[in-house]
Amino acid sequence: MEKKVTVRDIVKKKGREKIVAITAYDYVTTRIVDQAGVDIILVGDSVGMVVHGLPSTIPVTMDMMLLHVESAARARPRALLVGDMPFLSYETSIEDAVYNAGLMLKKGAEAVKIEGGSEVADVVKAMVRAGIPVMGHIGLTPQRHLLIGGYRKRGVRKPEAEKIIEDAKELEKAGVFSIVIEFTAADVAEEVTREVSVPTICIGSGPSCDGQILVLHDILGLSEQTPPFAKKYADLKTIILDAVSRYAKEVREGVFPGREHSFYSEAYNSREG
């Protein structure tokens, strides 16, 4: 078996090797993406929209995340398994935040991710003090889409760009081991990558980061709505549609199940001959 990827391995990759991260939400897909050799598997709260059909990530609960983390962890991936902290699991108090992050670890996550910059620095510090590795998430923070004016590009104007760079530095000081930068101007993400010593992992924020992350269902062509920065590497929707349509046709025409998918009693065989 290949060596397990640890938080330390991820940090050491900065400036040496690109980090490949992807989401997965369950046992089956975690096994497959892990076989593909990714470095980080994120059980993202995007599961709420992608799998459960919710309108945003705001309704996602700890119970949902714990179930998905537990399922993904059963695949015992070689990649580092990160559990995403859902909305309201780390904002109400530092005690709640540490407790909820601890529950993620108890279900098999090896680190947690939280959204926000300087405003969550104290939360990050407390989690790290408790022995919980934390991944930051700045730029577009979907759990705050109501506050920040929707799912819009970030860091285009100077004050916002400066705030993103400041946030990254605060998170680094607080102890995160890596930072996701979402839907942010590529030059700003590049500046953050230069300014912090921990790896930056980008989604829709250009090529200069230390790594990239995408949502699995987006790259497989299974998402209802795909963000403009996602690249579709396969069209599984068409493949599934075709397979299920052929199955339905064969059942209706009496072609499936054939003899090879059936078994018969001895009495039947003796009647046959």
For position 26 contacting ligand KIV by CB under 6 A, the verdict is no
Q: For residues 43 and 83, what is the distance between their CA atoms, to the nearest angstrom?
A: 5
CB of 236 to ligand KIV, least distance (A): 18
Token pair of 126, please? 């407390």
DSSP, residue by residue, 7-19: HHHHHHTTTTS-E
For position 178 contacting ligand KIV by CB under 6 A, the verdict is no
CB of 207 to ligand KIV, least distance (A): 17
Among 38, 103, 168, 215, binds ligand KIV (CB under 6 A): 215
CB of 255 to ligand KIV, least distance (A): 41
Q: 24: how many CB neighbours lie within 10 A of its CB?
A: 28
For position 23 contacting ligand KIV by CB under 6 A, the verdict is yes
Interface stretch with ligand KIV, choices 39-47, 101-109, 236-244, 252-260 (CB under 6 A): 39-47
Strands (E), 126-199: 134-139, 178-182
For position 89 contacting ligand KIV by CB under 6 A, the verdict is no
For position 46 contacting ligand KIV by CB under 6 A, the verdict is yes
Q: 128: how many CB neighbours lie within 10 A of its CB?
A: 16
Token pair of 1, please? 């078996």
For position 210 contacting ligand KIV by CB under 6 A, the verdict is no
Among 70, 84, 170, 190, binds ligand KIV (CB under 6 A): 84
Give 109: exposed, middle or buried? Use CB within 10 Å, 0-12, 13-18, 19+.
buried
Please provide residue 15's backbone torsions phi and psi, each rounded to the nearest 5 degrees. 75, 0
Told to judge if 170 belongs to the known catalytic residues of this protein, a careful annotator would answer: no
Q: 240: how many CB neighbours lie within 10 A of its CB?
A: 13
**Is residue 210 a contact partner of residue 13, using CB atoms and an 8 Å limit?**
yes
CB of 197 to ligand KIV, least distance (A): 21
Binding mask 106-145 for ligand KIV (x = CB under 6 A): ----------------------------------------
Choose, from 172, 182, 190, 191, the residue flagged as catalytic: 182
Q: Do you find a cis peptide bond into 257, omega within 30 degrees of 0?
A: yes
Among 34, 45, 170, 218, binds ligand KIV (CB under 6 A): 45
- Tell me, by CB under 6 A, how many residues bind ligand KIV: 10
**Is residue 135 a contact partner of residue 116, using CB atoms and an 8 Å limit?**
no
Q: For residues 246 and 111, what is the distance between their CA atoms, to the nearest angstrom?
A: 42
Interface stretch with ligand KIV, choices 7-15, 38-46, 86-94, 145-153 (CB under 6 A): 38-46
Q: Which residues are known catalytic residues? A: 182
Which spans of this chain sit near ligand KIV (rule: CB under 6 A)? 23, 42, 44-46, 84, 180, 203, 213, 215
